[in-house]
């Protein structure tokens, strides 16, 4: 049955609320309105104002409130309305959500899910399109998850709500309303597993979230150039699956990492480093990155210049030392 | 603190509202003057019907724990000078606030302290060694928060104000009448999380008492740089939260006001804000030099308002405390300090491999690798030691 990612997320929340009375869902506009992206549509009507409710417009307050609720034994799921609007909550996330288990030697845990609609490609005005995953991935104590498929959206969100640790659940906005055949409820691979979305022999494209469809499209286009590309979907940035990615690159000998966030000091840089450490003797070329430009997220009419697209991915694939010649890009350096 | 789904008992919003008696006598704005039941010499002032004097047994216990608290504080400062603590933020001079606050709540209530609440935590009955773990540096939080219903000592300012609101709301949601007591200082009332916390508590009618100890300085920055409000207690009115100010060096008044505030919250009336006017007699921590920002005359003036002397004078005048009782309590305090000294002089054991134990419920593969690396490093170092 054709289902959108938005509907899959909504169903996951509803099923979690039905399965466990400790689960509460709250944030800005998530009640009667059903969220600006309608991810919480109908939940308040079905489960009541006690279990799905609007809060004051204060993101640190929302996350801090969730900490207290979790301390009382509940399972809060909060919505940050947009990526950049989550920044006021960063102190609560980095200093408390991520650290409480460790600070208390495991006596206190705060199993909170922080849902963050993120990334661009939707023509959003400024402060609505940031790729903020690196901030969270760089904070020990958090799990950071980002689905790229409808079934993963359902399954990973259910797993996040059941997880004993806090999870930052990054939802690629541009994938919300794409639909795919999916049978819900479903359980896909658990946290900590990357998945090969498309097998291939010549090179591995590693991507997550909004970059996965770009990678798949690029792999399809690359067939015309004679390259058979494998696509790996990271799915859970933390915990990270070195094994699946390492195995893929050892098979193909070449790797391009794709992310929408600015490249400098990003998750892609970490992945490239890990691949190089683990696959050095299998590599025929340096691991390349295709990322967003190192600029503040641009205005809507310029976002396509910023976003990594199929052409940029194919350009990178072309530079994977097929002729064993120095990369022209670094000739001047 | 795990609760099974079956154990979640919810009071519907309607039930909770119906069970909520109004508190019509309680205006939002605080009195223009701080509530005071003893004058600075310890002489009782006219009784107040809105803040009845606590029972004499409670006042004797307050005195006893204040004496213990001050002795603990002195001992902690000494341990810092001996290198046993990395740093210690003293609350000397604030004994009335520190001790009365924890006496005003039940053991089943939750307390949200800052780093300056060591004295309050030992007054709550938490093992002083566990209270000082954070400052000794063998771990962060030394006690089990779920066991003593006390959050870790909070060093990021005001962030605990929102946790208290959430905890209190979650407890009410599950049908329990728990009150959350959140400590905060004057400087931290400038932080956004103070405002967000008190606003969330007000909107959700969460049973929280916000207790501001206004000790006049945020490290070096005086109160005049924190607010232009007539008093910090005025910060409640904008959120619809009733507020009161109290002489923080009058132990009888602090206990009376907080007792009422806790009752207000427990009865379902929502949060209550109390500002206590007090003074930090010592520098911010042992690492601070207070002479750079305040003069000795100011400190001396506050010495004359010592809360312990005030309470002792009053209890003696009422005939419920005599030389023998004072001596006995002093003896208890010495024994308490001696025990603390002895235990703090033992070198705590720390295990580097435990660094990986509580980052997540289960370590990630990356943490397992790093743990193995550290284990190998330790083993190699141990072999080296063995050869040497």
Q: Could you report the predicted ipTM of this complex, rounded to two decimals?
A: 0.96
Degrees, nearest 5: CA angle A85-A86-A91: 135
pLDDT single digits (tens) B80-126: 999 999 999 999 999 999 999 999 999 999 999 999 999 999 999 99
B164–A239 C-beta distance less than 8 A: no
Tell me if A235 sits within 8 A of A193, measured CB to CB: yes
Give the pLDDT confidence score for residue A241 in this predicted structure: 98
Which of B13, B151, B152 is facing A50, going by the closest CB pair? B13
Residue B27 pLDDT more than 90?
no
Task: Indicate yes or no: CB of A74 within 8 angstroms of CB of B156.
Answer: no
> Measured between alpha carbons, how far apart are the two ends of chain A, in Å?
53
For strands B208-214 and B180-185, give the pairing.
parallel
Chain B environment of A109 (Cβ under 8 Å)? 361
Q: Which of B141, B147, B163 sits opposite A68 (nearest CB)?
A: B163
Contacts of A67 in chain B (CB under 8 A): 162-163, 166
Do A107 and B364 count as a contact with CB atoms less than 8 A apart? no
**Which band of pLDDT confidence, cut at 50, 70 and 90, is reported for residue B15?**
very low
Confidence of residue A331 (pLDDT cuts 50, 70, 90): confident
Question: Which residue did the predictor score with more confidence, A3 or B9?
Answer: A3
Catalytic annotation present for B280: yes
User: From the CA of A298, how many Å to the nearest CA of chain B?
Assistant: 29
Instruction: Give the Cα-Cα-Cα angle B32, B38, B41 (nearest 5 degrees).
Output: 120
Residue A225: partners with Cβ closer than 8 Å, 6 or more residues away:
A314, A317, A318
Residues 153-172 of B with CB under 8 A from A: 156, 159, 161-171
Residue A301 has pLDDT above 60, yes or no: yes
How large is the average pLDDT for residues A186-208?
98
Residue A217's pLDDT is: 98
> Active site residue: A127, A128, A281, A304, which one?
A128
Q: What confidence score (pLDDT) does residue B8 get?
A: 61
Query: Is B140 marked active-site?
Result: no
Average confidence score pLDDT of chain A = 97
User: DSSP readout, B203-215?
Assistant: HTT--EEEEEEE-
The DSSP-derived string for B253-319 is HHHHHHHHHHHHIIIII--EEEEEE----S-SSTT--GGGTS-HHHHHHHHTT-HHHHHHHHHHHTT
Residue A13, Cβ neighbours under 10 Å: how many? Answer: 29
Instruction: Tell me what the mean pLDDT of segment B50-78 comes to.
Output: 98
State yes or no: pLDDT of A88 exceeds 50. Answer: yes
Task: Name the residue facing B5 among A22, A70, A95 (closest C-beta).
Answer: A22
Chain pair A-B, CB pairs under 8 angstroms: 172
Interchain CB distance below 8 Å, A104 and B152: yes
Q: What confidence score (pLDDT) does residue B11 get?
A: 56
Q: Closest Cα of chain A to B358: distance in Å?
A: 5
The position carrying tokens 């000091």 is: A265
B375 is catalytic: no
Which residues, listed in sequence order, are joined to residue B221 by a DSSP beta bridge? B218
Q: What is the pTM of this model?
A: 0.96
Chain B residues in contact with A106 (beta carbon < 8 A): 357-358, 361
What are the pLDDT digits (tens) for B209-261? 999 999 999 999 999 999 999 999 999 999 999 999 999 999 999 999 999 99
- Cβ distance B200 to A108 less than 8 Å, yes or no, reads no
What structural domains does chain A harbor?
Answer: 2-181 (3.40.50.970), 195-324 (3.40.50.920)
Top pLDDT among B205 and B16 is at B205
Nearest CA-CA distance, residue B111 and chain A, Å:
12
Could you tell me which chain B residue has the CA closest to the CA of A55? B200
CB of B119 within 8 A of CB of B280? no
Chosen from A27, A57, A61 to mutate, greatest number of chain B CBs within 10 A: A61
A71 vs B178: CA distance, rounded Å? 13
Which residues of chain B from 323 to 382 reach within 8 Å of chain A, CB to CB? 354, 357-361, 364-366
Radius of gyration of chain B (CA): 22
pLDDT tens digit string along B179-216?
999 999 999 999 999 999 999 999 999 999 999 999 99
Averaged over B31-57, what is the pLDDT? 96
Mean pLDDT of chain B: 93
* Mean pLDDT value of segment A184-209: 98
The three-state secondary structure class of B191 is coil
SS (H, E, C) chain A: CEEEHHHHHHHHHHHHHHHCCCEEEEECCCCCCCCCCCCCCCHHHHHCCCCEEECCCCHHHHHHHHHHHHHCCCEEEEECCCHHHHHHHHHHHHHHHCCHHHHCCCCCCCCCEEEEEECCCCCCCCCCCCCCHHHHHCCCCCEEECCCCHHHHHHHHHHHHHCCCCEEEEEEHHHCCCEEECCCCCCCCCCCCCEEEECCCCEEEEECCCHHHHHHHHHHHHHHHCCCEEEEECCEEECCCHHHHHHHHHHHCCEEEEEEEECCCCHHHHHHHHHHHHHHHHCCCCCEEEEECCCCCCCHHHHHHHCCCHHHHHHHHHCCCCCCCCCHHHCCC
Tell whether the model's pLDDT for residue B2 goes beyond 50.
no
* Residues B145, A140: C-beta atoms closer than 8 Å: no
């Amino acid at each position: 049955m054709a289902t959108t990612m938005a509907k899959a997320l909504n169903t996951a929340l509803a099923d979690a609320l039905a399965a466990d009375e400790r689960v509460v869902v709250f944030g800005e506009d998530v009640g009667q309105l059903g969220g600006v992206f309608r991810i919480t549509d109908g939940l308040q009507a079905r489960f009541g104002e006690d279990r799905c409710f609007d809060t004051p417009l204060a993101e640190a307050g929302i996350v801090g409130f969730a900490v207290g609720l979790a301390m009382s034994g509940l399972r809060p799921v909060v919505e940050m309305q947009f990526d950049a609007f989550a920044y006021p909550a960063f102190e609560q996330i980095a200093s408390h959500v991520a650290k409480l288990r460790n600070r208390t030697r495991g006596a206190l845990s705060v199993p909170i899910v922080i849902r963050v609609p993120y990334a661009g490609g939707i023509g959003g005005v400024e402060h609505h399109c940031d790729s903020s995953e690196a901030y969270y991935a760089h904070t020990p104590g958090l799990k950071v998850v980002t689905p790229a498929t409808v079934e993963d959206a359902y399954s990973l969100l259910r797993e996040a709500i059941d997880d004993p640790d806090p999870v930052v659940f990054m939802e690629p906005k541009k994938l919300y309303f794409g639909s795919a055949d999916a049978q819900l409820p479903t359980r896909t691979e658990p946290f900590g597993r990357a998945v090969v979305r498309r097998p291939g022999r010549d090179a591995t494209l590693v991507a997550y979230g909004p970059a996965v469809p770009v990678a798949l499209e690029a792999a399809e286009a690359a067939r015309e150039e004679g390259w058979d590309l494998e696509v790996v979907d990271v799915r859970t940035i933390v915990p990270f699956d070195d094994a699946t990615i390492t195995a893929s690159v050892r098979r193909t000998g070449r790797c391009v990492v794709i992310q929408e966030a600015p490249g400098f000091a990003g998750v892609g840089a970490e992945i490239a480093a890990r691949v190089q450490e683990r696959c050095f003797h299998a590599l025929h070329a340096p691991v390349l990155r295709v990322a967003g430009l190192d600029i503040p997220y641009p205005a809507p009419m310029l976002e396509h210049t910023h976003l990594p697209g199929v052409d940029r991915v194919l350009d990178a694939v072309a530079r994977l030392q097929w002729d064993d010649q120095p990369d022209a890009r670094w000739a001047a350096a | 603190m795990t609760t099974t789904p079956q154990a979640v008992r919810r009071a519907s919003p309607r039930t909770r509202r119906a069970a909520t008696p109004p508190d019509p006598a309680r205006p939002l704005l605080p009195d223009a003057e701080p509530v005071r039941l003893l004058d600075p010499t310890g002489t009782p002032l006219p009784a107040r019907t809105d803040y009845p004097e606590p029972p004499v047994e409670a006042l004797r216990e307050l005195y006893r724990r204040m004496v213990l608290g001050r002795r603990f504080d002195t001992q902690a400062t000494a341990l810092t000078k001996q290198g046993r603590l990395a740093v210690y933020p003293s609350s000397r001079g604030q004994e009335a606030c520190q001790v009365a606050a924890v006496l005003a709540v039940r053991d089943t209530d939750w307390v949200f302290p800052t780093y300056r609440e060591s004295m309050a935590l030992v007054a709550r009955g938490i093992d002083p060694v566990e209270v000082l773990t954070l400052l000794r540096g063998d771990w962060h939080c030394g006690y089990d928060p779920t066991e003593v219903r006390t959050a870790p000592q909070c060093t990021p300012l005001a962030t605990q104000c929102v946790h208290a609101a959430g905890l209190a709301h979650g407890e009410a949601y599950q049908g329990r009448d728990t009150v959350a007591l959140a400590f905060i200082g004057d400087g931290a009332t400038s932080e956004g999380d103070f405002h967000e916390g008190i606003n969330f508590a007000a909107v959700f009618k969460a049973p929280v008492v916000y207790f501001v100890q206004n000790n006049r300085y945020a490290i070096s920055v005086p109160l005049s740089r924190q607010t232009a409000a007539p008093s910090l207690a005025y910060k409640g009115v904008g959120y619809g939260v009733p507020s009161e100010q109290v002489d923080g060096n009058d132990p009888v008044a602090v206990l009376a006001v907080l007792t009422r505030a806790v009752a207000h919250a427990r009865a379902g009336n929502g949060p209550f804000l109390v500002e206590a006017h007090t003074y930090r007699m010592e520098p911010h921590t042992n690492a601070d030099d207070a002479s750079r920002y305040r003069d000795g005359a100011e400190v001396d003036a506050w010495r004359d308002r010592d809360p312990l002397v005030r309470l002792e004078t009053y209890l003696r005048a009422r005939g419920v405390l005599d030389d023998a009782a004072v001596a006995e309590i002093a003896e208890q305090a010495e024994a308490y300090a001696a025990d603390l000294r002895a235990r703090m002089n033992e070198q705590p054991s720390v295990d580097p491999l435990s660094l990986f134990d509580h980052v997540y419920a289960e370590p990630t593969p990356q943490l397992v690798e790093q743990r193995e690396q550290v284990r190998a490093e330790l083993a190699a170092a141990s072999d080296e030691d063995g050869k040497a």
